Structure 1
Amino acid sequence: MGKAASIVCIGGANVDRKARLLTPFRLGTSHPVATTQTAGGVARNIAENLGRLGQAVSLVSTVGDDQDGQWLIDVTSRYVDSRHIVRTSKANTGMYTAVLDERGEMVLALADMAIYDTVGKEWIKQRWSELGPMTAVVLDANFPADILSWVIKQCRQEDVLLCVVTVSVPKTKRLPADLTGVTWLVTNEAEAMALAGNDHCSVHEAMETLLRSGAENVVVTRGANGVAYATKQGETGVIAAPKVAVTDATGAGDAFAAGFLYGVLGGYPLEAACRFGMSNAALTLQTAETVHPALNEYMLQAAYARYFREGGTKR
């Protein structure tokens, strides 16, 4: 018998440092803060969420040959097959530093991600051949454009389910204009508009543009305004967000992507999968961690029942 198929997450693995303001923010002056360090990176966060939800998951990423890199590998290995995380001496481990206001909302974020530019197409080709059977691929936009294009094309050729997560507005530029081969595009409102090439369009217009660009399903997270989705088959919908007390918004988008994948790969229809995503995001919003420290499948199913019971599950 061969190796069990796994979900392969390709993209960022960083150290997240968060400084939370203890007084209101004022430009040009020093502030008292409480600081924490957690493992981060969009692909890494999604992989850890999926691992905690009982999925077989591997992470393809690169970290520095430094203490931060070793710490990231150690922390991630508890839930994720980390054999495809490559260490390099060419750059420091990716670092994301967020300043949060006293309510936990982001004031400013600083990203040192030069490490991802040290790898190219040959690097990903070599990793790909070592991966074994895949259920699905999750690709974030942290790697250079040539890697993103190659993975999308490869998934299209091999008929592998592919979920692309956009990461940030500037990084949407790395994605190819042709999104054929992308099964699910998971993005937020600002990123969807940037990817559609129109900052003034509506969410629905942006989704239509992205479907025409080749994506099969587009899911747009809108924070407190919930989630909108559209499919090639003409299905569209908007789901209201459950009301929760926000402790810290960091990692909520990654939790959404993981909960969504847990749903679609578990055979649920798109709308129910979005609700699993929102349930997981709601859990993460209520913790100071980037990934909920007690997350498991039972907790997610219970959250789904709590927030969306009246909506039913499978159609």
Structure 2
Amino acid sequence: MNEKEALILKLIKEDPFISQSDLAVKAGLSRAEAAGYISSFIKQGKILGRAYILPEKRQVLCVGGANIDRKIWSKNQLELGTSNPAESSKSCGGVARNIGENLGRLGSDVSVLTVVGDDFEGHWLMEYTKAFADVSPSQSLQGHSTGAYTAVLDHEGEMAVALAEMTIYDSITTEFIESKWGYFASSDFIILDTNFSADVLKAIILRCRKENIPLCITPVSSPKAKKLPEDLSGVTWLIANKEEAEAIAGVGIENEGDFFKAAEMIIHKGVEKVVISRGDKGLVYFTSRGEAGVLIPPNIPVIDVTGAGDSLVAGIIYAHLNGIQTEDACKVGMACSILTLQTIETVNPILNNKQLLDTYKQNFK
């Protein structure tokens, strides 16, 4: 940044409502030159547009889905083709939102960038989430319904089928992301799910790489994982389950060796660190520096698996941001996931630093 640019940003910080004419006079520029600087700053994400709002610095920005989670679980052995006695619940969900809430409960300075409908569910989601994360980057869209995710669980808490109503994310364009880039540029770390289109995902990955912004990608599902570009250079972490890893790597996974083969293929796409979860069999990790390992989880009672993957991501990134190395970061992620598995809630309401540390010590020390 040259002296003139620094002066203009200083003047804007002192008076966010300064006119371009006054800005030009104080900076010794023509009005056209001042307008050019303003346009450039907006494109770079250094200011957020009219009123020249400077984005507040945040530790983590979670980008992607925020949905209504509906869970229906069978009281008995699930039988297809007939009626099953069941119970149900409704809660706030969405991968990016869930990760943001987990991180917020752990004390991280986090914000969430998503879109919701201008409806009761959308307002409820934002009001609830703002207790844990800054939701000012998010936007309410008229004429759209808030995303909804319905999971049908068997009597043991395992998912039998899930239904996703996510058409609202089709409205997100690269221009929308550009208009919000100030929030990206002012964050230390980005977590991106794959709810948005392939073009939008590619644009975010490319720009984070160009601007050296650390990025974690967490696919939402196997079909949505296929929207990721072939070139994943600059991605710091990619955390996926078996099916998502198969889709990204383009290979089937049948045994433990296949997990590492898939992880290595993803590393060759440019990712620095890959984690592939294996459900109740734990996870494998593989890095571009040759680190590799398998972590086996403790035998614990499972109440509900929904949200466990999101809490795994949150725990890993929380540990990463606190300087913890790969293997131990994965253990912290698993500890966070254990807490989620032991509640019917998508994010465990008792989650905090102390609970996470206690769970980590009980299971991995």
Same fold at TM > 0.5: yes
| Counterpart residue type for residue 111 of structure 2 | S
Instruction: Map residues 44-193 of structure 1 onto 2, 5 A cutoff.
Output: 44-131=97-184, 133-193=186-246
Contact 1:90/1:115 (8 A) holds in 2: no
- Name the counterpart of 1:313: none
Counterpart-to-counterpart distance in 2, 1:90 and 1:31: 35
User: Any idea what the Cα deviations from partners look like across 1:166-188, whole Å, max 9, x if unmatched?
Assistant: 11100011100101011000001
Give the structure with the larger strand fraction: 1
Counterpart in 2 of 1:312? none
Structure 2 vs 1, CA of residues 162 and 272 (structure 1 numbering), >3 Å: closer, same or farther? same
**Which of the residues 276, 284, 303 maps onto 2:340?**
284
User: Partner residue of 1:203?
Assistant: 259
Q: C-alpha separation between the residues in 1 aligned to 2:167 and 2:57?
A: 34
Alignment CA distance shift 1:233-1:97 (3 Å)? same
Judge conservation of contact 1:90–1:118 (CA < 8 Å) in 2. no
1:293 counterpart letter in structure 2? P
State the Cα deviation string for residues 164-214 of structure 1 (Å, max 9, x = none). Answer: 001110001110010101100000111111111112461111011001111
Q: 1:259–1:280: 8 Å Cα contact kept in structure 2? A: yes
Segments of 5+ residues of structure 1 without an aligned counterpart are: 310-315
The letter of the residue matching 1:215 is V
CA distance in 1, matches of 2:122, 2:111: 17
Instruction: Give TM-score, length-normalised by structure 1.
Output: 0.96
After superposition, give the CA deviation of every residue in 1:256-313 in whole Å (9 maximum; x if it has no partner). Answer: 000000111100000000000000000100001000011101111111111111xxxx
Counterpart in 1 of 2:44?
none
**Equivalent in 257, 275, 283 of residue 219 of structure 1:** 275
Question: Is contact 2:116-2:146 (8 Å) kept?
Answer: yes
Find the aligned partners of 2:247 and 2:172 in 1 and give their Cα distance: 25
**TM-score, with structure 2 as normaliser:** 0.83
Which residue, 18, 29, 44 being the options, matches 2:71? 18
1:237 CA displacement: 0.7
SS in 1 for 2:205: helix
Aligned residue identity for 1:37: K
Which residue identity is paired with 1:21? Answer: S
Is the Cα contact below 8 Å between 2:198 and 2:229 reproduced in 1? yes
In the alignment, the residues of structure 2 paired with residue 254 and residue 206 of structure 1 have an alpha-carbon distance, to the nearest angstrom, of 21
Instruction: Tell which has more relative contact order, 1 or 2 (C-alpha 8 A, sep 6+).
Output: 1
Match of 1:174, SS state, is: coil
Q: What do residues 141-176 of structure 1 show as CA deviations (whole Å, max 9, x unaligned)?
A: 111111111111111011111000011100011100
Unaligned runs of 5+ in 2: 1-12, 14-53
Aligned to 1:84, what secondary structure does the other structure show? coil
SS at 2:274 equivalent? strand
Aligned partner of 2:287 in structure 1 is 231
Deviation at residue 130 of structure 1 after TM alignment:
4.4
Q: Structure 2: how far apart are the matches of 1:138 and 1:5?
A: 13
Instruction: Determine what percentage of the aligned residue pairs are the same residue.
Output: 45
Aligned-residue RMSD, C-alpha: 1.3
Please state whether the residue corresponding to 1:31 is helix, strand or coil: coil
1:246 is aligned to 302
Greater helix fraction, Structure 1 or Structure 2: 2
Amino acid at match of 2:227: R
C-alpha separation in 2, matches of 1:119 and 1:163: 20
SS of residue paired to 1:178? coil
Amino acid at match of 2:100: A
> Which deviates more from structure 2 when the two are superposed, residues 12-21 or residues 189-198?
189-198
> Judging changes above 3 Å, is the alpha-carbon distance between structure 1 residues 305 and 200 closer, same or farther for their aligned structure 2 residues?
closer
After TM superposition, give the deviation of residue 243 of structure 1 in Å.
1.6
Q: 1:130 to 1:172 in 2, by over 3 A?
A: closer
Aligned match of 1:34: 87
In 2, Cα distance between equivalents of 1:119 and 1:253: 24
- Three-state SS of the structure 1 residue aligned to 2:261 is helix
